[in-house]
Structure 1
Amino acid sequence: MDRPQFRAAFFLPRFWPLWCGLGLLWLVVQLPYPLLLRIGRLLGGGMYRVATDRRRIAKRNLELCFPEKTPAERKRLLKENFASTGIAFFEMAMSWWWSRARLARLAQVEGLEHLKQAQRDGKGVILMALHFTTLEIGAALLGQQHTIDGMYREHKNPLFDYIQRRGRERHNLDSLAVERDDVRGMLKLLRAGRAIWYAPDQDYGAKQSIFVPLFGILAATVPATSKFAKLGKALVVPFTQERLADGSGYRLVIHAPLSDFPGESDEVDCLRINQWVEGCVRDCPEQYLWTHRRFKSRPPGEPKLYAKRG
């Protein structure tokens, strides 16, 4: 995709409310990081109270994935998850507007040698990530260390789309945004030896998925990771990030490339990916994006797992 361009139309009155909101957000994120964490937690607490549909989805997901926990334990986890989501709102703005030096001080990066080695070997990399609430800032921090391209879906509001893309791409001017449906473009970049951020952990519908277990529940899982790796002749390199509990920043880990991948079948590969997803989520459940209806699609004959939206 071409670089985002500023338009004179962004000064029209219909964009003024968004300009005001963005300006206020810019001012707030100039505050010290520990204070932003506290404000984010307060924002998350407010979201917990008013975002009833999202709270209901997250609550149901926790019931499905952690049946061994007591209701009180799941409620505490749910509240912590909303606190993490509130913090993520400011992390997004930090990644867009903080100086590179200020942002870099928060990063602890491990395993960068795996990306460097792939680059030396001329191998493309599928940087296999997850939808954690720290997704935005994790990609920004890694982008300062190594060129990564990202799968991208254009926002409906053109001004927000401009701000978002400019904020994401400023960390590495060599990075590219790839339309989510542009498979041909993605494969071209992989064959050229580039690294592309990709997350296979959401429900994209039964038609293009295989049902394999996740947390003991059959989940619609896209086999695209295997297909991209095979057609793009690329390595699959798992990537995780977490917000550190002591408030000192973020730990980013680039893991070793998956061996013997793709495997003997799409089903085997999808199961392997879901097992990895489950392990990562169990390590840091309060920071995962539980408000997505991960088990929305069901195998033929199985009942729905979510109540109708209010």
Structure 2
Amino acid sequence: MVSEMGAALLRSMGRWPQWTRHNLAKGLARAAYPFIKRRAHVARVNLHKCFPNWTDEQVENTVRTHLKYFTHSLLDRSLFWFGDKQAIYDNTVFIDEHYWQEARAKNRPIIVLAPHFTGLDVAGLRMNMDLEMATMYQKQRNPVFDALMLEGRMRSGQGHLFSRHDGIRGLVKLLRKNIPLYYLPDMDFGINDAIFSTFFGQTAATLTALPKLAKLTDALIVPCISRIDAEALARGETRYKIQFYPAWDGYPGDDEAQAVRDMNAFIEERILEEPAQYLWFHKRFKTRPAGEADFYTTNTTNTTNTTNSIKK
């Protein structure tokens, strides 16, 4: 019942005035902080591991800022999934779009490398409004919200959505038909179909699907980073920046491990530009090599109780 009510609210929110949704997200981010202790702990651990020279105050400020961005992006999904289609165009801006257009002009398979930044849903939808595309998704435990997500992401009528459990055969077929794949490569789903690579100097289970798919299909890799426009947000406006980067041709080469590391290095560089807009609530270092302790067990880190008294 609660899930159905939440789904109905999200649907209706897409038609709300922008300022109403903005103020609700702002208030929710402030109110939610005391109730997200587990996720805040995960984010602190991630940040301390990735930025060991940061102070507790720097980490805490980033967690709070990330919660703000995360809450806005969550509520903004209502606009992009169920609002007027024109809103997808009105509230997004392409940066360095020529890299995307140049890649498409080569008439080759394309994989859009789209790490987990705050605007990842928005970028995929915006691009899918212009052309047929494929993407992968992680099935949600809640069936109501799983169906809601599928409906929102498929709203263009020209999308192909594959569960991560479906394998890559269908994706390969579409890529060979020059249907671009919007691919999110940077979550820890265990060591199956992954290898241990480094991420900000930490050992991290990293999926190998990007180099495998690129090698099978001779695809160009076009990196795409999508973020909330912080200046627009400060004015109470909804705006997402979708930035493209030069295509990677010849990727992955002959060394899969190096190709995976190159991908992680690129993501690291983008995170350093706006650290608070990366998805720190995910247990990026959940899978550990044999014999290594869990990073997220409360007593393995001193970050759990360091920051309740720190004020932003």
TM-score normalised by the chain length of structure 2: 0.86
C-alpha distance in 1 between matches for 2:60 and 2:139: 35
Q: CA deviation at 1:34?
A: 4.0
Q: CA deviation at 1:94?
A: 1.1
Q: Determine the structure 1 residue equivalent to 2:54.
A: 69
Equivalent of 1:227 in 212, 223, 238:
212
Distance 1:277 1:17, change over 3 A: same
Q: CA deviation at 1:117?
A: 4.0
Which structure has more relative contact order (CA 8 Å, sep 6+)? It is 2
Q: How does 1:276-295 map to 2 (within 5 A)?
A: 276-295=266-285
C-alpha distance in 2 between matches for 1:148 and 1:111: 20
Q: Determine the structure 1 residue equivalent to 2:164.
A: 180
Residue range with higher mean Cα deviation, 251-260 or 156-165: 156-165
Matched position secondary structure for 1:176: strand
Q: Which whole-Å deviations, capped at 9, do the CAs of 1:42-78 have from their partners, x for residues lacking one?
A: 2122332112111111111111112222111111111
Q: Which whole-Å deviations, capped at 9, do the CAs of 1:232-279 have from their partners, x for residues lacking one?
A: 221111111111112251110122211331123011101101101111
Q: Which amino acid aligns with 2:202?
A: I
CA RMSD between the two structures: 2.2
Distance 1:49 1:175, change over 3 A: same
Q: Which whole-Å deviations, capped at 9, do the CAs of 1:91-149 have from their partners, x for residues lacking one?
A: 11111111111231111113444444444433111111111232222222232234321
Segments of structure 1 that go 5 or more residues without pairing to the other structure are: 1-15
C-alpha distance in 1 between matches for 2:96 and 2:132: 15
Q: Determine the structure 1 residue equivalent to 2:136.
A: 151
Distance 1:156 1:271, change over 3 A: closer
Q: Which amino acid aligns with 1:108?
A: V
Distance 1:295 1:17, change over 3 A: closer
C-alpha distance in 2 between matches for 1:137 and 1:58: 23
C-alpha distance in 2 between matches for 1:129 and 1:86: 20
The answer to whether structure 1 residue 193 and structure 2 residue 193 are counterparts is no
Residue range with higher mean Cα deviation, 183-192 or 40-49: 40-49
Q: Which whole-Å deviations, capped at 9, do the CAs of 1:7-63 have from their partners, x for residues lacking one?
A: xxxxxxxxx543432333334443333442332132122332112111111111111
The answer to whether structure 1 residue 259 and structure 2 residue 243 are counterparts is no
Q: How does 1:118-133 map to 2 (within 5 A)?
A: 118-133=103-118
Matched position secondary structure for 1:126: strand
Identity %: 27
Residue range with higher mean Cα deviation, 60-69 or 132-141: 132-141
Segments of structure 2 that go 5 or more residues without pairing to the other structure are: 305-312
Equivalent of 2:29 in 32, 40, 44:
44
Matched length: 294
Matched position secondary structure for 2:197: strand
Q: Determine the structure 1 residue equivalent to 2:259.
A: 269
**Aligned 8 A contact 2:197 2:206 in 1:** yes
**Aligned 8 A contact 2:103 2:222 in 1:** no
**Aligned 8 A contact 1:142 1:252 in 2:** no
